[in-house]
Amino acid sequence: MKQIKIEDLECIAIGAAILGSGGGGDTRNDLMIAKHFIQKYGAVSCISADELDENDLVVPIAFMGALLITKEKLPSGREFKLIIEKINERYKNKRIVLMAAEIGGANAFCAISCAAILKLPLLDADTLGRAFPELQMSSCNVNGILPSPAFLSDGRGNTVIIDAKDSLMVENLARAITVKMGSSACVSLYLMNGKEAKSAIIEDTLTRSIEIGKAHKKAVLNNTDPIEAILKKTDGKLIFQGLIIDVNQKIKDGFLQGSVTFDDGKNTCSISYQNENLIAKINDEICITTPDIITICDTQSGIPITCESLNFSQRVSVIGILASDVWKTKKGLDLVGPRVFGFDVDYKPIKEEIVR
Amino acid sequence: MKYIIGIDIGGTNTDAVLVDEKMRVVYFVKTSTTKSIENGFFNCISSLLDKTSISLDNIEKVFVGTTHVINALLEKRDLYKVGLIRVAGHFPESIPACFEWKQDLKNAILVGEITINGGYECDGRKLSSFNEFEAKKAIKSLIAKGAESIAVISVFSPMYNDLEKKIFDFIQEIKKDFPISLSHEIGGIGFIERENTTILNAALQKSLKFGFHNLKKKLIELNVKAELFLTQNNGSLLRLEKALKYPILTISSGPTNSFMGASRLAKIKDCIVVDIGGTSTDIGFVKNGFIRRSLNLCKIGGVDLNFSMPDVLSVAIGGGSRIEIDETNIKIGPKSVAKNLMKEAICFGGNTLTLTDIAIASNLAKIEIKKGIKFCPNKAKKILLKAFETINTLISQVEGKEKNLPIIVVGGGAILFQNIFPKKCFINPKYYEVANAYGAALAEVSATQDIIVSLIDRKKMLSKINQKAIEKAIEDGADPMHVNVVDIQIIPYHYVPNHMARVIVTAAGKRK
């Protein structure tokens, strides 16, 4: 068992954003919230999957809705206690082990804050290994864990429990309820016991985000190349380095869609995104697709840039990181492969030879 | 012919330029900043007017840029004690006020925070019912705790500002003319950054209270009937009355004015600007005639604020930097003789060794002086080169990979390095000494609309917001014939239906 302390949080913010594949939102507020609650209630105990008891209740938790709205209507901080109360009412006398539903982006911090307030253990794992936009896109779903009952709570004291037929219906209902809750809600679903969890989750992702953040921090302190450090830590590939020459975005069906184009003087690279970066092409040839992680970082500082913050004239590096194995199965690709997002191509692992 | 006076009140100098309708410099003066801001202002303009023969009636406007507010914050002087009212019916406990501020700044400013019922969801539904009695109780309790100024922030007030306005009235009822800062006057969506900015503003109201409210009177004493404005962070104008209430809006106007002024004086649209003043040197990037803005949130004194800042690197080296020499070490700055340069520097008859003295001793700078300096020229040259190297390192950081841009050097201290900057890139435009005052004279009227809307009918909605921004700019005094939308930012809110987005539109134009 280890401890998540205040000084780990800044590293998580960088690491989680890099695993976010351009999605998962700005981590600043959630980082502050986690800092505040650890300051107030103390460090969080973090256990690995090996330390799970078969009878533990593993509770994935996240915020759902528009991150930009929670920047104005801050979480009350009482959503967490409320949702755990409801879970305790439903599953009596279980030891609850919290887990980030999504490690990519701001949601890496939700479980940490919740664990700090309620002094519950936190599992070093998540159910995505990155960020994805919808609730059915979960390793738990691939591994046959039921999404219901799903729990929602908001800052004004409302809770809802959804008992739905399948994961898509949970997504639809939860989305509608979240809007009524002010477009931001705390959500928990795919609850499972310790035994089920061992085969359904993606392990060690919290540690991974800390390690990536630490490597980045060290490079910045030593004045060495932060991009190089990130690549080494993630076994990633440098896909492209250049200048942003075009950003084209729109919203379709509630999701941010767009493309961004880079130029290095010789070649052009373009990335299509829908909340997360999904496909990258160099000179019109596909070189990486979802579910592999595509992250755009500021070349000089190594700081990852989310899709909504892309701007003209930024000098950036595009990094490709292999997805967790669960997403490369047939079931996984049926949930998060390129075709799910409307691209008429099949998943291809990152190309070994990349034009630079 | 009509004229504008641009004036820059800095820590060391107070400079003024007289500019004609075609933005040509007619006259300029440089004077020392005085302890009394209003007297320095009076002296500066009167010596400018002494040089001209134009009719005073033809001076239409006076635009003032100043670093007074930022200096007050950095030196933590003239700050009010602030009480904060959060109107937030969901009573957020996740982030307390002034979280992550430096403890000494927080202690110097915040005396209490109270959350009360009210506030809205993004779609206009109430978070909880606002209660007049509760609001008044909060006001009285903060004043009892020692608040000298009250900051008010309500959830989603950039879109629904009625509750902040109500609280303004209540405070006025309880204590007339009590200093108040309303968050919707200061910025857009983003609770914590807007709250930080509102609290700092509430504290800084004291900094402009003394000195600036008399500027108008001083103009009248000079028989100048021109309108008076301050320049704000984005290079546009602010009425004096509003500036006195919202001084934070002027906090980064110093670099904005000098970078814009330098680029326009040199008539170069893509360049690096190096502004060497008496106390510090600012380095920035002008691209296509606009200042490169920082992509990160603006941080001043360690506090995250909610407006974009010019992307500027600064170092405490300037003409007034004190030089301290002992056996092993040579220290350049960060202390400066600042506004006393003309009295304390050795070359001007004083007793303090400054970088200006060093430049003269090195024989590399030609400056008119009162008194010679006994100092080894070679040693002086070494010190001056050391100062230059520090500045040069920052220049290459600002340049990044764009190595071939012209470098425009302006400010009172530019002359120190006139023979050191590489000739091929060094541009020292005419009137370089008063680039910030010239930049102030360039300011336009602007207005910003920042709201969250549904973009289902995108075209119609955008044109409505554009129209509103233009109307607001005209209301604030822009010439209806010359006002345009200069910036549109659309930030889509994903994961919610109805194409919700935050739209920020800025319209700007010349003053009528």
Q: How confident is the model over A243-269, as a mean pLDDT?
A: 80
Q: Minimal CA–CA distance to A19: which of A261, A213, A200, A203?
A: A213
Chains A and B form CB pairs within 8 A to the count of 126
Distances in whole angstroms, Cα of residue A311 to Cα of each of A166, A260, B288, B438: 39, 9, 16, 30
Residues 174-233 of B with CB under 8 A from A: 189-192
Put simply, whether B126 touches A (Cβ < 8 Å) is no
pLDDT tens string B326-346: 878 888 888 888 788 888 999
pLDDT band at B277 (very low <50, low <70, confident <90, very high): confident
Put simply, whether B429 touches A (Cβ < 8 Å) is no
pLDDT tens string A18-76: 999 998 888 999 999 999 999 999 999 999 999 999 999 999 999 998 877 888 999 99
* CB < 8 Å to B401, chain A: 315
Distances in whole angstroms, Cα of residue A229 to Cα of each of A56, A96, A232, B261, B295: 37, 36, 5, 41, 23
Q: How confident is the model over B468-494, as a mean pLDDT?
A: 82
pLDDT band at B403 (very low <50, low <70, confident <90, very high): confident
> Reduced to 3 DSSP states, what percent helix, strand and coil does chain A have, rounded to the nearest 5?
35, 30, 35
* pLDDT given for residue B401 in this prediction: 62
**Residue B115 CB neighbour total at 10 angstroms:** 18
* Cross-chain residue pair B192–A75, CB shorter than 8 Å: no
* pLDDT given for residue A251 in this prediction: 63
Q: How confident is the model over A84-102, as a mean pLDDT?
A: 96
- Amino acid occupying residue A182: G
Q: The tokens of B477 are what?
A: 């005094």
pTM beyond 0.90: no
Identify how many contiguous H helices and E strands chain B contains and give both numbers: 14, 23
Specify the higher pLDDT residue, B34 or A167: A167
From the list A33, A182, A313, the residue facing B95 with the nearest CB is: A33
Q: The tokens of B508 are what?
A: 């700007």
Q: How confident is the model over B71-84, as a mean pLDDT?
A: 88
Q: Which residue do the tokens 């191509």 mark?
A: A345
Average pLDDT taken over every residue of chain A: 92
* pLDDT given for residue A244 in this prediction: 85
Put simply, whether B385 touches A (Cβ < 8 Å) is no
Specify the higher pLDDT residue, B500 or B67: B67
* pLDDT given for residue A254 in this prediction: 60
Put simply, whether B456 touches A (Cβ < 8 Å) is no
* Cross-chain residue pair B496–A67, CB shorter than 8 Å: no
Minimum mean pLDDT among B294-308, B363-377, B418-432: which range? B294-308
* CB < 8 Å to B295, chain A: 309, 311, 314
* Cross-chain residue pair B127–A255, CB shorter than 8 Å: no
* pLDDT given for residue B244 in this prediction: 92
* Cross-chain residue pair A78–B93, CB shorter than 8 Å: yes
Query: DSSP state, B184?
Result: G
Question: Which chain A residue has its CA at the smallest distance from B153's CA?
Answer: A72
Q: How confident is the model over A126-141, as a mean pLDDT?
A: 95
* pLDDT given for residue B494 in this prediction: 62
Distances in whole angstroms, Cα of residue A288 to Cα of each of A21, A205, A284, B136: 12, 22, 12, 60
Q: Which residue do the tokens 């921004």 mark?
A: B469
Q: With 80 as the cut, is the pLDDT of residue A313 above it?
A: no
* pLDDT given for residue B496 in this prediction: 62
Collapsing DSSP to helix, strand or coil, B304 comes out as: strand
> Over the Cα atoms of chain A, what is R_g?
19
Specify the higher pLDDT residue, A210 or A253: A210
What pairs with residue A279 in β-bridges? A272, A289
* CB < 8 Å to B89, chain A: 156
- Measured distance CA(A139)–CA(A129) in Å, rounded: 9
* pLDDT given for residue A48 in this prediction: 96
Put simply, whether B305 touches A (Cβ < 8 Å) is no
With a pLDDT cut of 70, the percent of chain A lying above it is: 96
From the list B190, B495, B496, the residue facing A71 with the nearest CB is: B190
In which element (H, E) is residue B231 found? strand B227-231
Phi, psi torsion values for A321, nearest 5 degrees: -130, 135
Report the gap between the CA of A71 and the closest CA in chain B (Å): 5
Query: DSSP state, B416?
Result: G
Q: With 50 as the cut, is the pLDDT of residue A355 above it?
A: no
Q: With 60 as the cut, is the pLDDT of residue A352 above it?
A: no
Query: DSSP state, B352?
Result: B
Report the gap between the CA of A213 and the closest CA in chain B (Å): 19
H helices present in B132-250, as ranges:
132-144, 162-174, 191-212, 215-221, 240-245
Specify the higher pLDDT residue, B4 or B36: B4
Give me the interface pTM, i.e. the ipTM. Answer: 0.90
Specify the higher pLDDT residue, B220 or B504: B220
* CB < 8 Å to B156, chain A: 72-73
* CB < 8 Å to B91, chain A: 76
* Cross-chain residue pair A65–B496, CB shorter than 8 Å: yes
Report the gap between the CA of B362 and the closest CA in chain A (Å): 35
* CB < 8 Å to B500, chain A: 66, 183
- DSSP secondary structure of A312-355: TT-EEEEEEEPPPGGGGSHHHHHHHSGGGGT-SS---PPPSS--
Put simply, whether B128 touches A (Cβ < 8 Å) is yes
Q: The tokens of A99 are what?
A: 């887990």
Taking an 8 Å Cβ-Cβ cutoff, which residues of chain A contact chain B?
Answer: 29, 32-33, 35-37, 64-69, 71-78, 113, 133, 154-156, 175, 178-179, 182-183, 249-251, 253-256, 275, 300, 308-309, 311, 313-315
Q: ∠B276-B280-B284 over CA atoms, to 5°?
A: 60
* Cross-chain residue pair B497–A251, CB shorter than 8 Å: no
* Cross-chain residue pair A66–B494, CB shorter than 8 Å: yes
Identify how many contiguous H helices and E strands chain A contains and give both numbers: 11, 19
* Cross-chain residue pair B122–A251, CB shorter than 8 Å: no
- Amino acid occupying residue A90: R
Q: Minimal CA–CA distance to B26: which of B15, B18, B35, B34?
A: B18
Put simply, whether B492 touches A (Cβ < 8 Å) is yes
Residues 6+ apart with CB under 8 A from A316: A241, A242, A243, A244, A262, A296, A297, A298, A299, A305
Put simply, whether B498 touches A (Cβ < 8 Å) is yes
Specify the higher pLDDT residue, B254 or A173: A173
Put simply, whether B457 touches A (Cβ < 8 Å) is no
Collapsing DSSP to helix, strand or coil, B182 comes out as: strand
* Cross-chain residue pair A73–B156, CB shorter than 8 Å: yes
* pLDDT given for residue B497 in this prediction: 65
Find out whether A54 and A91 touch, Cβ atoms under 8 Å.
Answer: no
pLDDT band at B233 (very low <50, low <70, confident <90, very high): confident
Find out whether B495 and A255 touch, Cβ atoms under 8 Å.
Answer: yes
Q: How confident is the model over B6-18, as a mean pLDDT?
A: 90
* pLDDT given for residue B292 in this prediction: 77
pLDDT band at B372 (very low <50, low <70, confident <90, very high): confident
User: Residue B397's Cα: distance from chain center in Å?
Assistant: 23
Specify the higher pLDDT residue, B280 or B146: B146
Minimum mean pLDDT among A196-200, B12-16, B57-61, B208-212: which range? B208-212
- Contacts of B114-117 with C-beta under 8 Å, sequence gap 24+, read B114/B83, B114/B84, B114/B85, B114/B86, B114/B138, B114/B141, B114/B142, B115/B85, B115/B86, B115/B87, B115/B88, B115/B91, B116/B85, B116/B86, B116/B87, B116/B88, B117/B87, B117/B89
Report the gap between the CA of B126 and the closest CA in chain A (Å): 10
pLDDT band at A157 (very low <50, low <70, confident <90, very high): very high
Question: Which chain A residue has its CA at the smallest distance from B119's CA?
Answer: A73
Q: The tokens of B461 are what?
A: 């909605």
Specify the higher pLDDT residue, A189 or B405: A189
From the list B88, B94, B122, the residue facing A69 with the nearest CB is: B122
- Measured distance CA(A285)–CA(A266) in Å, rounded: 15
Collapsing DSSP to helix, strand or coil, A3 comes out as: strand
What pairs with residue A315 in β-bridges? A243
* CB < 8 Å to B302, chain A: none
With a pLDDT cut of 90, the percent of chain B lying above it is: 44
Put simply, whether B501 touches A (Cβ < 8 Å) is yes
Torsion angle defined by CA atoms of residues A22, A24, A30 and A34, in that order, rounded to the nearest 10 degrees = -100
* CB < 8 Å to B92, chain A: 73-77, 155
Specify the higher pLDDT residue, B56 or A102: A102
For residue B8, the number of C-alpha atoms closer than 13 Å in the C-beta half-sphere is: 32
From the list B95, B496, B500, the residue facing A32 with the nearest CB is: B95
* CB < 8 Å to A32, chain B: 95, 99-100, 192
Q: Minimal CA–CA distance to A33: which of B305, B191, B82?
A: B191
**Residue A54 CB neighbour total at 10 angstroms:** 10
- Measured distance CA(A150)–CA(A187) in Å, rounded: 7
Buried b (16+ CB within 10 A) or exposed e, A184-210: bbbbbbbbbbbebbbebbbbebbbbbb
Question: Which chain A residue has its CA at the smallest distance from B90's CA?
Answer: A156
* pLDDT given for residue B295 in this prediction: 55
- Measured distance CA(B265)–CA(B258) in Å, rounded: 10
* CB < 8 Å to B96, chain A: 36
- Contacts of A225-232 with C-beta under 8 Å, sequence gap 24+, read A225/A302, A226/A297, A226/A301, A226/A302, A227/A297, A227/A299, A227/A302, A227/A317, A227/A319, A229/A302, A230/A18, A230/A297, A230/A302, A230/A319, A231/A319
pLDDT band at B206 (very low <50, low <70, confident <90, very high): very high
* pLDDT given for residue A265 in this prediction: 83
From the list A36, A76, A175, the residue facing B91 with the nearest CB is: A76
Q: How confident is the model over A257-273, as a mean pLDDT?
A: 89
* pLDDT given for residue B425 in this prediction: 66
* CB < 8 Å to A182, chain B: 121-123, 125, 127
* Cross-chain residue pair B92–A66, CB shorter than 8 Å: no
* Cross-chain residue pair B94–A36, CB shorter than 8 Å: yes
* CB < 8 Å to A179, chain B: 496-497
Collapsing DSSP to helix, strand or coil, B478 comes out as: strand
* pLDDT given for residue B245 in this prediction: 93
* Cross-chain residue pair B125–A182, CB shorter than 8 Å: yes
Average pLDDT taken over every residue of chain B: 88
> Over the Cα atoms of chain B, what is R_g?
24
